[in-house]
Amino acid sequence: MGELFPILAGLAIGLVVLRIARPQLRAVALIVLSALAGATASLISGELFISWDFLFFDIPLVFAAAVALVVVVSWWRRRAAAVR
């Protein structure tokens, strides 16, 4: 249950990043927002007060959720365009 916030934050970041048209800016936004959300997730859960090592888990978790959403939605859009 403690990893729910990073996953939901990653999904939200993925939705936000999809609206950015330029691929370079999209990549930068994805990395920066994932780092911020991962640090926030560690802070909210209290893990950051125990060890900074939890950042090495929460940041990639947010990033992975965001990338997964971007990949799935991009695939879905291409598939829908090909069917038309």
Residues of the chain with pLDDT under 50: none
pLDDT at 4: 93
- DSSP single-letter state for residue 52: G
Q: What pLDDT does residue 1 have?
A: 59
Pair 54, 47: CB distance under 8 Å? yes
Q: Name the pTM for this structure.
A: 0.92
Among residues 21, 16, 28, 24, the alpha carbon closest in space to that of 70 is found at 16
